[in-house]
Structures are given as C-alpha cells and as structure tokens.
Chain A
C-alpha cells in the first residue's frame, strides 16, 4: 500500500508507525544526519553515490535557461551538478551564437522538507561559489504538497528521497502537476539487486556495517539503521515504474546502476 490514511500504519524502516508520525520522525533522522550526510554517503557507497548522481544528471540533459526542481536534495549534490551543466550549456551557446542578447542561465530550485539540510547546502554552495547572482534557490517544502505553481518546471529530480516520503503516489502526483508539458521526471533511488548471490553480501554489509559506521562517524546508529531499513522496504524496479505510470507519466523506463543497488526511473509529462 502506497497511500496512507490517518489511522493507517506505515513503514519506518522495519517499524510500523502511525502515518502521521512518519514525517516528523524522518525529519528528526535528517536533522541529525545533515552535517555528516555527505561523508556518510561516501563511506556507505564507497564513493559510488557520486557516479550515480553523475549518471542522473547525464540522463537529465540540462540546458541553459531551464527551470529545474530538485526535491529532497537539501545538501545540493544534484542541484550543483545540474547548475554546472546549465552553465556549460550557456557558455557553449554564447560562444556559438551571433545573437546580441545574452543566453539566460536558468534556475535550479532546491526543495527539501528539512531546513538543516538546506542550510548545509547553502553553506556548500557558498564555499564553492555556486549560484552567486541567483541561479539557486532554497525552499523548505514537502514533496507531497509542493509549493510550486502548476506547469512551472522543465524537469524534476529526486535522488534518494522518495523512499522517505509517506505517500509515494502523492509525491508522484505533485511531480506531474508542477511539470510543464514535455517535462521530465528522473528519480534515483535504491532498488532491488538483480543477482540473488550478491543480495546476501549486500544485506550483510548494510545491516551489520552501515549502522556501525553511523555510530562511529556520526554518533548516530539509529538514524543509519533507519536509512538501511527504508531501502529494503522500497518497491522494486517494475513496481515503482508502474506507480510512475499511475501518476500519468508516459515513456516510463528505468536503468539499473551497480547491478541494481540503485536505479534511475524516468518519465515524461506529455
């Protein structure tokens, strides 16, 4: 079941909790992991998460002037990649064009339910001198009730965020609503490993090692236990693809990364 009513219980990792509680508890998890989030991603994935995000942005094909929405990416990993790609396209177009009017850079909106994650993202952007002059905006918002107008976005990305949403279909419906006709959805998320033999190794690594890394690096074993469990509960590739179709998207496809550890699902509003 991917839609929760008020009295329903939903999964919080391997616990079942009241639907209303999930949002708050997820919020607590991410407040506590915000400052060590990037380090933890590197340790947990052996640096692979960088390649996965590179691949996401390659599939997205950013262009100068686009209006992009990145959801649940508070610390900015995907947003920064998208903005850099837009800037490269802007440079390319300006060099090639004889037109006197400047090519617009466009805008990346970073929307996250957790202000601490966004502040961390702002800090990193400042450090890397990204988004000076306004290419990045930081907005606290809920993926299930997005604070953006209908048909306002050229593309929507969500990386490792959708499994934390209480009602996945509500998030997908909102993604559809804010996209323009022709707009693209790209979702990078942990998925189900294709090969059975690898599965046991992966489970052993996840359930034994990751929470301990969390304990040592971030002093927070419980949050990382939650993260690992939430991965297990997320629907498999085909099921998630059908949820995306149910939200009205066309041309829905997915690509496995690293043997299915994660997958990028894409769809279009036509």
Chain B
C-alpha cells in the first residue's frame, strides 16, 4: 500500500451523483449515499431522492425538501407539502403526472 503524503486527504469511495435534467442542464450534485443517514426532520423516517424536482421526499408525510446546489435543505420550515394524489409521483402540479413539470 502506498503511503499518503502528510496533509493529503485520501479519497473516500463515496462518489457524488450528478444528473442532467430534461433541459440538458447539469443539476446540483446530490450524493445518494447520504440517503443511508438522512431523515425527514419531522417524521425521522428515510427520504427518497427525486432528481426531476431536485428534492428529498418524505413519503410518510407527503413532504418534499429542496436540494440546492447539492445541499439538502432539511429544516422543518424548508418542507413543502406535495399535493400529488399518487404517492409515487413527486410532481406537485397535475396529479396524473406531467412530463413538462418544472422543478419547484
């Protein structure tokens, strides 16, 4: 094993996920590995990453939290209620799903 020079910080094996949204723009990197640790601040249950809206979804409460430039905003005040009828869909516009939905 090669020794690391002092001061150099070895890389962890965790990588960051970078997505491209439908408009072809690079959206904020969010490291999905964090899902192992993160929780909804209100229900304390695990969150689901929704790349389309760049949000972390708490299905337990039907609340979404924004991720801006890779940084999850997980204060209770950051949460917004998701109005979609279908729990699987995180679109907060048309309940039957809308491919033109733009991220909030």
Which residues of A line the B interface, CB within 8 A? 67, 83-84, 87, 90-91, 94-95, 97, 102, 104-107, 109, 113, 115, 118-119, 122, 129-135, 137-142, 145-150, 152-153, 177
Contacts and interface: CB of A to CB of B under 8 A. Distances in A.
B46 interface: yes
5 contacts: A87-B9, A90-B10, A105-B12, A134-B31, A147-B72
Interface residues of B, number: 33
A148 B37 contact: yes
Contacts of A137: 31, 34
Nearest to B76: A145
Given A95-B1, A141-B75, A142-B76, A148 B38 contact: yes
> Binding site of A, secondary structure by majority: helix, strand, loop or mixed?
mixed
Contact of B12 (A118, A133, A138, A145): A133
Q: Is the interface of B mostly helix, strand, loop or mixed?
A: loop
B31 A148 contact: no
B11 to A, nearest CB: 3
B99 interface: no
A122 B72 CA distance: 13
A141 B9 CA distance: 26
Given A102-B13, A104-B12, A131-B9, A147 B41 contact: yes
A151 to B, nearest CB: 11
Interface in B1-50: 1, 3-4, 9-16, 31, 33-34, 36-42, 44, 46
A95 B42 CA distance: 44
Contacts of B86: none
B61 interface: no
A108 to B, nearest CB: 10
Given A133-B12, A149-B44, 5 more contacts: A104-B13, A141-B41, A145-B75, A147-B72, A149-B46
A148 B3 contact: no
A67 B41 contact: no
A152 to B, nearest CB: 5
